[in-house]
Structure 1
């Protein structure tokens, strides 16, 4: 049985080590030598030899841990889970720790442990949207294939615009963070205009080409495409991943692409902008620079955006 414990894949590492100690001891090897072979302490070897001599195989297993006995049975746990999944309280759309604790007669801490053990989070909810694009699967495969196996001698750029970014200033000075006090700002704000940011994220390197405009029409998009053209070496093809926004499909934009055979367009499925990696860049920009920023003019806002892009390009991550 000891040899079986050592060989069996499912045996816990600690239990297998104890079985090895006993097997080596049965060969007449001293504790110091066993400890050296197994990387253990001699007193540890002695402990498990003694446990085996007194209790045989049972002595190699861990003893029950000390602590208070469990106050709730399996049936009560199952009922708590059932109530969480299948019912709601009379006065709410979902259970809270306190309301469930009252319903089943246990402490909120007990409910918290049950919910944590079974991955239940009644206080959270997520939304989703299904694409109705008839070519959804084909487009997903096309774009994911670009990300995983990009063509040789080509650049894969994820392109989109973040429109109507507001330059906002608070009506009172921001109160900075202090020990024991978080940063505070007035609820009211003053608008100082808007900007639109066109960005192209290199899927392979994480570098970004970005340019701000006051508007986001087809003519601004064309200016941005020409900037991409100027930044990409002439011997590379350009594969563009972008969504179905009307600005991307005007006759002037289509004419631009038709005259440039090295450009290849890959549209995301409708309602599936999550496929476009530049959306992650926009989310980070909003979180790190825009949401809590104070911008008293569109010029200040544009400077902040450019500073962020420069920081990304200094240490890009795909």
Structure 2
């Protein structure tokens, strides 16, 4: 077919395999938009449509249609691929890149605990821009450091299965409480008045502060409803913990079994506490593994309390601090919401296993 004006164009005739490939590229979701557009151009040209009509249909310039028609007629499917663009040739070889990576991973500078971009640039002779690009390409961030703690509890697996089982499938006619204490909460006041937020300016406060005493919060989270029982004490000894258990007992229906999840803190295991629990057979204690506070759901509520009330709070006395904590608990209990536990015990244990295997390979120099 020829255009109404100008030179006649050579028709585009597709083989079955070529048409199938082009149509597949058009249907694919992850193909680049430019490649999909080129395939549409060739398919419409193969249907005998004029270039200006194809351009109007696809919203491109007629010269674009002509360009990809010519390239397809010359090189077929390969003609639709992007050509290598001219540019500055590489100035650093692969072995030099490997040397920078090896030095980053296996050594330290003489005057610091980790490499910086500029210290590595000075040691290798490359520009800091080159070092930044190499580190970014291989995900290297020497300035960052994370912490971890693996539980050494010999009953770790059994305790995880026990507690996660309570979260995912609590027993009938029973109350499951996540119990812990947040000790030594400081009543902090600022040495100078806090400057309130204004348009274009965040709230500002002095970094220095004045201490006005501490308090300790004992809390029990009902995992089914999200309701919290809490009480502040001046100290956090076994006597205070036993008093808090009595506070819980006074608010729990007597016909329900009570499952208490708590950590291995010494005040939870004194003879006085054990005797009190032994006299109440409907109480069942489940201890979390050592160094595994993340499995105790009340810790999530403590984090919420810290973020919303304590972190930026200003208190001139412990009584003022305790009143704000009580108010926070009351407001929370007006519309309590439980935290959703999603991972099964098997998934948690598998994740711990993968971490241990990765750490072992790292220490052995395999990564």
Bin of the TM-score, shorter chain as denominator length = 0.7 to 0.9
* Partner secondary structure for residue 59 of structure 2: helix
CA distance in 1, matches of 2:53, 2:169: 54
Q: Deviations over 1:193-232 (max 9, x none)?
A: 2211011233345443221112222332233223334444
1:183 aligns with 2:204: yes
Please state how far the C-alpha of 1:65 moved relative to its aligned partner. 6.8
* Partner secondary structure for residue 211 of structure 1: strand
Cα pair 1:101 1:107 within 8 Å, conserved: yes
Report the number of matched residues. Answer: 313
Greater mean deviation of Cα atoms: 266-275 or 196-205? 196-205
Check 1:132–1:118 CA distance in 2 against 1; reply closer, same or farther (3 A cut): same
Please state how far the C-alpha of 1:295 moved relative to its aligned partner. 1.3
1:53 aligns with 2:69: yes
Q: Deviations over 1:32-69 (max 9, x none)?
A: 9999xxxx962249777544421122343345578766
Check 1:265–1:171 CA distance in 2 against 1; reply closer, same or farther (3 A cut): same
Check 1:48–1:162 CA distance in 2 against 1; reply closer, same or farther (3 A cut): same
CA distance in 2, matches of 1:140, 1:10: 44
1:13 aligns with 2:31: yes
Aligned-residue RMSD, C-alpha: 3.6
Unaligned runs of 5+ in 2: 1-16, 340-367
1:118 aligns with 2:134: no
2:193 paired residue among 166, 173, 176? 173
Check 1:196–1:119 CA distance in 2 against 1; reply closer, same or farther (3 A cut): same
CA distance in 2, matches of 1:230, 1:208: 14
* Partner secondary structure for residue 240 of structure 1: strand
Cα pair 2:52 2:62 within 8 Å, conserved: no
Please state how far the C-alpha of 1:7 moved relative to its aligned partner. 4.4
For the pair shown, the structure with the greater C-alpha radius of gyration is 2
Check 1:257–1:105 CA distance in 2 against 1; reply closer, same or farther (3 A cut): same
Tell me the equivalent position of 1:269.
Answer: 289
